Amino acid sequence: MSAAPSGLPRTEAAPRPRRRVDAPARARITAVTSGKGGVGKTNLTANLAWHLRQARKRVLVLDADLGLANLDVMLNLAPKITLHDVFTGKSSLEDAILPAPGGFSALLAGSGMVEYSRMTPEVRDQLLAVIEKVAPRYDHVILDTGAGISDVVLYSVSLADDVLVVVTPEPTSMTDAYATIKVLAATQARVKVKVVVNQTRRHGEGRAVCLQLQQVVDRFVNPGLATPVRLDLLGQVPLDIAVRDSVLRRQLLLDFLPSAPAALAVVGLATRLLT
């Protein structure tokens, strides 16, 4: 692991589990995260999953926002069994995996559960065990994390092969995205970070935001690292009223209005993820 930039505390995030060379095919695990909350992670996760499923991939989304989950709302599901029941041994993992609209699978979590505001060794082990069990059965597992740099978020991200940071062009969101990237570099040696700029208002804004973030990372994070952090712009998604409309209807945007500009942009992102 590369040296942490000075002044950054190391969190207790576990080292990322390594894939054995002779291991059977398993899912590519992508964590969708952000510095600031409410930037569009859950909406993006669900719509990415929808498109990947239409592309005939086996997809599971997991609500890793364990204490404040709302992927179920986005998917219009009312789960009777959640990850909490699996963690506490009340239900089997099989029973907790639900069919989501569009044919992908979902592992949902509860909301308002203070026990998941901090990561305990038990929850760590349980979450890792769940991921290890589902990974061989899917092509893609997408973790919809909470926002910020809590140990719950960082641990979920540590379990993923790829991290996708969602940011909007607002300075507050960019500042928090930078903080997330800096902490991921320091605690998990993440040197490749995919970036989605959401809620853009003009062509090229995503590129400008990503470039600005890269410049700050180059200046303040990369000098302390053996391998520099590189941000890879997966794409931009425009600010589009159709997104809000789809959420209000509790229908996924790609189902509700596949021709909407934001829907077309998500399809572009998913296609790039697949390549």
Ligand X SMILES: Nc1ncnc2c1ncn2[C@@H]1O[C@H](COP(=O)(O)OP(=O)(O)OP(=O)(O)O)[C@@H](O)[C@H]1O
Binding-site ranges for ligand X (CB under 6 A): 34, 37-43, 65, 146-147, 198-199, 237, 239-240, 243-244, 247, 262
Give the residue carrying structure tokens 């990503």.
210
Q: Are 49 and 100 in contact (CB under 8 A)?
A: yes
User: What are the backbone angles phi and psi of residue 38, rounded to the nearest 5°?
Assistant: 70, 20
- Look at the chain and count its residues: 275
For residues 137 and 238, give the distance between their C-alpha atoms in angstroms, rounded to a whole number.
Answer: 33
From the list ligand X, Mg ion, none, partner contacted by residue 223 (C-beta under 5 to 8 A by kind)? none
Helix (H, G, I), strand (E, B), or coil: what is residue 145?
strand
x/- contact string, 23-42, with Mg ion (CB under 5 A)? ------------------xx
By beta carbon distance, the residue nearest Mg ion is 42
Of 18, 43, 4, the residue nearest 144 (C-alpha): 43
From the list Mg ion, ligand X, none, partner contacted by residue 239 (C-beta under 5 to 8 A by kind)? ligand X
From the list ligand X, Mg ion, none, partner contacted by residue 240 (C-beta under 5 to 8 A by kind)? ligand X
CB of 40 to ligand X, least distance (A): 3
Give residues with Cβ within 8 angstroms of 205, minimum separation 6: 169, 197, 236
Nearer to ligand X, 228 or 261 (CB): 261
Does the protein bind Mg ion through residue 53 (CB under 5 A)?
A: no
- Residues forming the site for Mg ion (CB under 5 A): 41-42
